[in-house]
Structure 1
């Protein structure tokens, strides 16, 4: 994780970030398998009938947050591959309400999105949807929940 301390903000605690990676690793095998099955399947199939849709349906809110974080991270890292299925998965999770996103999770998602640069077109889909569920003022550093990508880049630049 890149430190933003030099920009006047403290980085997320290392143990918190490690916890995110541990949770993502727990869902990664099932998520990767579902994405690969769906890549070979009919892209017009209703989401609930896809492997990703069945996986989403089997998880509780904490599992969905971990899956969303993993899919978001995966899509940004491999945006030059065929990420259509991953982008659909991220969009479906972003459209679900009441997942209980924490401010740290949202901040991590926003930080990772910023670090991806402009090439990953869908990099703010999930973090901004998750941020919209936080109570006003929940994000550190005064990041408003309706921050648009350009505003987030300016906030990150200090």
Structure 2
């Protein structure tokens, strides 16, 4: 555990995994379909775009968290459609990100290490959607992600 980081309650984290598991089959299928499709198509015309367009803000947050988690774990695989999905969700404002969701994504990003080049794309966009100071003192001292938000 990094200095200044609060541990998330296990039930909260399990809730994240449950929500992500609910969107995972559709998300994986959409990414696989887009992997063989035309990468130049407008996002709304892709399988990932249609999936994202079908979800409410809570579902879109779960999809974003799953894609973020998946892309970090398989960064050495062909994740272009997944990274595009993450960037598209990161570009949407007003999704209602919670402090716990953001803390979890930042922690996962930090743990993934520098080999996962795009690991902060979604969490930092989500941070920008939080009220000022919502993350508390995570910016205090040290190196790593908390320096980016502090």
TM over 0.5: yes
Report if aligned partners of 1:38, 1:52 keep a CA contact under 8 Å in 2: yes
* 1:70 alignment counterpart: 66
Q: How many residues align?
A: 146
* 1:147 alignment counterpart: none
Which consecutive unaligned segments of at least 5 residues does structure 2 have?
none
| CA distances 1:98-146 after superposition (whole Å, capped 9, x unpaired) | 00000000000000000000001100000000000100111143449xx
Report if aligned partners of 1:75, 1:87 keep a CA contact under 8 Å in 2: yes
Report if aligned partners of 2:86, 2:122 keep a CA contact under 8 Å in 1: yes
Which consecutive unaligned segments of at least 5 residues does structure 1 have?
145-149
| Runs of 4 or more consecutive aligned structure 1 residues displaced over 2 Å after TM superposition | 6-10, 140-144
Q: How does 1:9-24 map to 2 (within 5 A)?
A: 9-24=5-20
Structure 2 counterpart of 1:29, from 13, 22, 25 = 25
Q: How does 1:53-132 map to 2 (within 5 A)?
A: 53-132=49-128
* Cα offset, 1:152, TM superposition: 1.8
